[in-house]
Amino acid sequence: MRLFAVFNALLILLIVVGGCQTAVVDQTAFTPVLLQGEEVYQLNCQRCHHPQGQGYRRLFPNLASNQIVTGHDPIPMIQVVKNGRGAMPSFDEALTDEEIAAVLTYIRNSWGNEAEPISPQQVRNLGESEG
């Protein structure tokens, strides 16, 4: 019986460790930022982009498996959120650079998305280069 318990514990450990290794991005390293980003998303974004990020067809774009969101170059995505575009409002005034970075890190790592986190500095730099 005891041996069985030990075996079970080992099995769980293997699954947990194995799960971490398969991830391209170690999301556990920035869990607090993801939690902050989720809150910002719920308050500011989900009414248009849907709680699960899939948007609403022909009205609001899908953010899940969207290359603008998970792309290696995050600048176009930061610009859309900072400056707005079409029916997408600008969040430059409403959110701090930290909040924008957190929500972008969140959408880059939710609903199956997986991409490097965005730092507040990246958001700030973009604002400065535009004047």
Q: According to CB under 6 A, which one of 19, 87, 129, 131 is a site residue for ligand HEC?
A: 87
Residue 89 engages ligand HEC in binding (rule: CB under 6 A): yes
Q: Binders of ligand HEC among 19-48, rule CB under 6 A?
A: 44-45, 47-48
Task: Find the shortest distance in angstroms from Cβ 54 to ligand HEC.
Answer: 12
Contacts of 122 (CB under 8 A, 6+ apart): 74, 78, 101
> Which one, 36 or 66, has the nearer CB to ligand HEC?
66
Gap between the Cα atoms of 105 and 36, Å rounded:
10
Is 118 in contact with 128 (CB distance < 8 Å)? no
Residue 91 engages ligand HEC in binding (rule: CB under 6 A): yes
SS3 category, 39: helix
Tokens of 85: 């575009």
Residue 126 engages ligand HEC in binding (rule: CB under 6 A): no
Which residue type does 59 have? L
DSSP-derived secondary structure letter, 97: H
Is 103 in contact with 45 (CB distance < 8 Å)? yes
Q: According to CB under 6 A, which one of 33, 34, 102, 107 is a site residue for ligand HEC?
A: 107
Which stretches of the chain bind ligand HEC, using CB under 6 A?
A: 44-45, 47-49, 60-61, 63, 66, 68-69, 77, 80-81, 85-89, 91, 103, 107
